Chains A and B, each alone.
Chain A
Amino acid sequence: MAPERTSGDLRTAGIGRGLPVPVYVDGKEVQAFEGETVLAVLWASGDHTLHTTARTREPRGFFCGIGVCFDCLVTIDGIVNLRACLEPVRVGMKIKRQQDPGYTHAR
């Protein structure tokens, strides 16, 4: 039987979670839970594009989930290119999906 999902959220229902942790994703308040990574929060939202690439603006999601592939880069509290899979959520954290800086770098 497929696991149940909470409404509007890809988290599996019926699993014990930590305390609620409010964070901001692209300016919108989102409820995360203590112990989750930023990647888990973004993935649970259903929008799997974490950033777009520098040259061709193609969407990228996560690949390895353990800090190796660098394909889950996001901006957190103004710092660019952080691996979402390695960052635990903190109260009030401001997470942004990145359009990678690249060859269209405008002056």
Chain B
Amino acid sequence: MRTADICIIGGGLLGTATAYYAAKAGLKVVLVEERELASGTSGVAFGGVSLAIYSYASARVPKTYVELSKASLSLYQRAQQEIGPPLDLDAPGSIDPFYNEEDSARGLERCRGLQACGVPCEFIDYKQIKEIEPAVAPIAINAIYCPVDAHVTPMGVVWAFAKAARQMGAEILTNIRATSLISRGQRVVGVATSAGEIFASNVVCASGSGVPALAAGVGIQVPLDLARGQMFVTERIPPLLRTYVHNIKQTPSGTIVFGTTREPGVKDTTVTSVEGTHKMLKWASELIPALANVKLLRSWAGLRLLPPDGYPIIGRPEGVDGLLLAVMHRGVTLAPAVGGILTDLITDGKTALDISPYRLERFASSAVGAEAQETFYGT
């Protein structure tokens, strides 16, 4: 039997970032991962750490959400100083293109909103896009350009956080399945696993699609939609892209990584499809015509997690003590902020960032889901 101050379920970005910040705060940390580190969503994600690009095409992004993203980018920068490689944060800036007047109008509104939140972004026309990123075709009529936007290799970051957490004493255990939460009355006191029980005064559920079932075991309903996303990587080519253009980036090795589809209701999220591949290649080569002559090396597919309103579920749910949730769509961007927040909640009982909009209880009220019905840009 193990005991800890905090037991984290899930060895992805959210789990390992939380392990890092909790260990740094002096907590005794145990993390359990069912398979290997980064074997879920973190291992398949694009890797954007963005203040300006949001998956939903909503015109308004809540200030609290922008603040979370800004805090996360700062924490990434600090973590990179503290940890070093393979935390490979690079900040070439991003371009989020719009293809028609209607999208542009919403993009302009989003840009103004982001600027009001202190994001140093600009709304630009095609001529300006061309100056920054000559490879982009004029099907992009406008764009939001955000020069501070960054990206990472998510798998590398998971390993970096895990290694750093271990060095500070965290136990990171892989190939151990969390089967259920152990509760005493209204309090979660530990985790039953395939390798025995782990007792902890705080249990963090950060295992993505595994969270609803675990939480349901203690009477907490976590609504979560799942979709398949397909990603692609090309051969190495000479420098073509400086920034990342929505979800198209050139890695330091010269490959182009891009995606992603969003396919709800697909049972096997580990296989790619000819239709999805065709659709994404068409989009990418229309936006960046030079890609038409570049050879595709490989594609992969994975889960995309979508809380029904598109926004994260962070913190302690009502009705049960000792339990913390971290379930979201933009886990790569938000992981360090969420890790810091959960650590603050455990050590101080409060956190400096406003996470009240991201309580689970918001789903108990109506008016949920309108945002999620809107389409993704470019996919």
Contacts and interface: CB of A to CB of B under 8 A. Distances in A.
Chain B associates with chain A:
yes
Most A Cβ at <10 Å: residue of B236, B242, B253 = B236
Contact of B239 (A54, A78, A79, A101): A101
A54 B236 contact: yes
Contacts of B251: 105
Given A54-B254, A79-B293, A107-B242, A101 B92 contact: no
Interface in A72-107: 78-81, 100-103, 105-107
B293 A101 contact: no
Nearest to A54: B236
Contacts of B242: 107
Nearest to B295: A81
Nearest to A104: B252
A103 B252 contact: yes
B258 to A, nearest CB: 17
B92 A102 contact: no
A79 B236 CA distance: 12
B172 to A, nearest CB: 29
A78 B235 CA distance: 15
Contacts of A107: 92, 239, 242
A105 B92 contact: no
Q: Please classify the interface of chain B as helix (H, G, I), strand (E, B), loop, or mixed, using the class held by over half of its residues.
A: loop
Contacts of A100: 236, 254
A102 B293 contact: no
Contact of B253 (A81, A103, A106): A103
Contacts of B252: 103, 105
Contact of A105 (B235, B254, B294, B295): B254
B234 to A, nearest CB: 10
Interface string B223-237: 000000000000111
Contacts of B236: 54, 81, 100-102
A37 to B, nearest CB: 19
Given A79-B293, A81-B295, A107-B92, A102 B253 contact: yes
B235 A106 contact: no
A79 to B, nearest CB: 5
B238 interface: yes
Interface in A57-81: 78-81
A102 B238 CA distance: 8
Contacts of A80: 235, 237-238, 293-294
B254 A81 contact: no
Nearest to A81: B235
Nearest to A77: B293
A106 B240 CA distance: 10
Interface of A: 54, 78-81, 100-103, 105-107
18 contacts: A54-B236, A78-B293, A80-B235, A80-B237, A80-B238, A81-B236, A81-B237, A101-B239, A101-B253, A101-B254, A102-B236, A102-B254, A103-B252, A105-B239, A105-B250, A105-B251, A105-B254, A106-B239
- 5 nearest interchain CB pairs? A101-B254, A101-B238, A79-B293, A101-B236, A105-B252
